[in-house]
Structure 1
Amino acid sequence: MSDASVQPDPSDPFFANPVFGTDNIHQPGPVIPATAKEFPEPEVTLDDPEYGHHSPARRAIRDAKRVVVKIGSSSLTDESGHVSPERIDLIADALEARMDRGTDIIVVSSGSIACGMRPLGLSQRPTDLATKQAAAAAGQVLLAQEWARSFARYGRPIGQVLLTVSDAANRDRARNSQRTIDRLRQLGVIPIINENDTVTTASATFGDNDRLAALVSHLSYADACVLLSDVAGLYDRNPAEPDARFIAEVRNGGDLRGVVAGDGGRLGTGGMGAKVSAARLASQGGIPVLLTSTENIGAALDQAMIGTCFWPREDRLSAWKFWVLYTAESAGVLHIDGGAAQAMEHHNSLLAVGVTKVVGDFTSRQVVDIVGPGGYLIGRGEVNYDSATLQGMIGRSTAELPDFAQRPVVHVDNLSTYANRLSRAYGATR
């Protein structure tokens, strides 16, 4: 009897289907070559308040040579948590059209946990850490498969980069991540970046991928950042309310007075509040940000006349100074007096005479927080002494110190400040 005549016995566990059947298994769609590189039409019209805006910051986004684009979970999946090939294709089409202009694109993609829900039989987003990480482990594979399939229509490969807070907080690892992203771009590969949810802990996360996108924008020296979600732009309250006012331009914090922003939805973690916070983080570092819905991605990447635009701070922080302020892990705290805070505002080094208290156990060359007399965190810097040595230097002038201790506590070149907090920190003693 030939082997071909032997039929599998369905009752044999070796041949049986898995107990969960095939309904939950994700099957990537076919790769159908794309023939056109066009921006998808937006859902809004010139009559809608979110469309038809012009500003210098929008022109900068339109002409940017390197753009970070963040896509939220709700933009990549359907209501049940399935990966949506159609939605991913819409996004990839717009990204390809922008890249056809010569723009480098870096994608920050949410969706790993949402994509892993159905294969694990979950009806709603998990809340406990272990199940979140299990869903991310299953979903990250599916998400990458769909991104790879969609960009394969244009003959483009993708590269997946998973980051943690520890990667960003450690300068060497941050630089290595930067080099990896740069090399992927040089090789014609689209970086698809996400937080590594499978290994992060509840206390050590970026919080949401909007913040991750802002940090990646600085890490990669991007010229612009586009944050996409399920809302066409920023309103001063829930846009469903009849008297909600659309905010087209955010030049500074004053434009946000009275704005009420909500939390995340069922499939995501980053609500409008998180997006505004991330947009301000990027813009304060000198990067213009456009906030709109994924359905309007074509208009956003084409002329940037849609959504809410956050204007960049004119004096962009260097990558190092931004890293110190917003990403680096602090090893301790230096409390300073008003005179030292005033000196820092005028771009001077921090000297021992201005230090009033040292908190923590740290070594030299580590990053520490600097707190003014009003209790405000006003900056961060790379300290020149360990904490034990500094305890004996508190309040002493340079002339009173031995030769080995006459360097600044934090040299101005290794010091970064929150300019908007300095005056508050020493206002009572100016």
Structure 2
Amino acid sequence: MSRVVVKVGSSSLTTDDGHLDHAAIGPLVDALVEARGRGDEVVLVSSGAIAAGLGPLGLGARPRDLATQQAAASVGQGALLEFYARSFAEYGLRVGQVLLTIDDVTRRSHYRNAHQTFAKLLELGIVPVVNENDTVATSEIRFGDNDRLAALVAHLVHADRLVLLSDVDALYTGHPSLPDSVRIERVGGEDDLVEVDVTRVGSAVGTGGMVTKIEAARIATAAGVPVLLTNAAQAHEALADEPVGTRFEPTGKRRPARLLWLAHASETKGSLVLDDGAVRAITQGKASLLAAGVSGVEGTFSAGDPVDLVGLGGTVVARGLVNFDATELPAMVGRSSRDLAAALGPEYEREVVHRDDLVVL
């Protein structure tokens, strides 16, 4: 038995006028059910909520402003999940909706809840249907595209592989429409991407493109999860692990899942400038960040927010969840923990960023 995360894009699920394409969704569900029949556990990351809301709202194209996008997502998400629920029910399977924002997976308690929800759904035999929570997400707390979301979910649920289904059947050395373009069957590292065409942008109803898919593959493979990129029409072959599309081989080992989310999913709210000793302690000594190593504070943030940790030369060396508000830190800069405890109280003796909440970039 293996666990597979499958991502399908808006262009594969909707018609040109924004309505759900039932004829396209049916075969996708069939392929997922086949995989379940082989004993695989399946998590579906599905775009299409905003696109599915365009038709009912009478919108001819994807709106540019966030408020209208959220209104379309509110209408479309229900229609999308309803169709998935009816389609899977024909095979005796149930679906469970999981809507995520970046906050849900970078703050410790939220992250733990998300992990436990996925674990329980899979234990109960439910097919999780995942999407970004477009209805409430602000521009500051968005994943930006479901390709990246899928890569992060694949690591969160400890998937054995990630399948990205698009409107393109593989990576090519040139634009897919050109006769001399050649399909790239395998990507083993960055050197294999030198001649890859990334000029194809996302469709009119989606946000992704080849760049986002390559970035998603980088995130997943760096964390030890192999990736297969192909089109939705080859979902059956992809899930059966047949030789279709482009395969991205793992380039790294699994790391603590929450740190992967912190590195790739979070938008920082500010930065802490570190002296050279603190930079060495964090990047080489695997230490926590103490106030004594901080020489400057930039931005507006609250305790628990993600911040960049920056060297004196301006290079971002790490990212972490800060334990103090931006208004508290200026009085703490450069001072020892013992001095802070004596002057401000014992609650100020703790780390500015704990090592468990820090990822070196």
TM-score with structure 1 length normalisation? 0.73
Q: Does 1:369 align with 2:305?
A: no
Amino acid at match of 1:412: R
Aligned to 1:324: 262
- Structure 1: which 5+ residue stretches go unaligned? 1-62, 419-430
Amino acid at match of 2:317: I
Aligned-CA RMSD value: 2.8
Whether contact under 8 Å (1:290, 1:304) holds in the other structure is no
Aligned to 1:125: 62
Aligned match for 1:293, one of 211, 231, 239: 231
Q: Does 1:415 align with 2:352?
A: no
Amino acid at match of 1:199: V
Aligned match for 2:246, one of 300, 304, 308: 308
Aligned to 1:341: 279
List per-residue Cα deviations over 1:107-147 (Å, max 9, x = no partner): 01111222222222333333333332332222222212221
Aligned to 1:45: none
1:254-273 correspondence to structure 2 within 5 Å? 254-261=191-198, 262-273=200-211
List per-residue Cα deviations over 1:15-74 (Å, max 9, x = no partner): xxxxxxxxxxxxxxxxxxxxxxxxxxxxxxxxxxxxxxxxxxxxxxxx7x2111111112
State the percentage of identical aligned residues.
Answer: 47
1:210-249 correspondence to structure 2 within 5 Å? 210-249=147-186
Whether contact under 8 Å (2:107, 2:304) holds in the other structure is no
List per-residue Cα deviations over 1:236-276 (Å, max 9, x = no partner): 33111233343332333333234341321112111111111
Give secondary structure in 2 for the equivalent of 1:309.
strand
Amino acid at match of 1:310: F
Which structure is larger by alpha-carbon Rg, 1 or 2?
1
Q: How many pairs does the alignment contain?
A: 355
> Residues 377 and 254 (structure 1 numbering): CA distance in 2 closer, same or farther, change over 3 Å?
farther
Whether contact under 8 Å (2:278, 2:293) holds in the other structure is yes
Q: Does 1:359 align with 2:302?
A: no
Q: CA deviation at 1:394?
A: 4.3
Amino acid at match of 1:278: A
> Residues 157 and 402 (structure 1 numbering): CA distance in 2 closer, same or farther, change over 3 Å?
closer
List per-residue Cα deviations over 1:179-231 (Å, max 9, x = no partner): 22222222222111112222233443221111221222233222221111011
Which range is displaced more, 349-358 or 393-402? 393-402
Q: CA deviation at 1:106?
A: 0.6
List per-residue Cα deviations over 1:288-335 (Å, max 9, x = no partner): 221111111112111252222222243322012223222345343122
TM-score with structure 2 length normalisation? 0.86
List per-residue Cα deviations over 1:358-399 (Å, max 9, x = no partner): 224556665431123442322112445665665455456789
Q: CA deviation at 1:353?
A: 5.3
Amino acid at match of 1:252: G
Which range is displaced more, 329-338 or 143-152? 329-338
Aligned to 1:381: 320
- Structure 2: which 5+ residue stretches go unaligned? none
Q: Does 1:193 align with 2:130?
A: yes
> Residues 202 and 387 (structure 1 numbering): CA distance in 2 closer, same or farther, change over 3 Å?
closer
Whether contact under 8 Å (1:67, 1:222) holds in the other structure is yes
Aligned to 2:76: 139
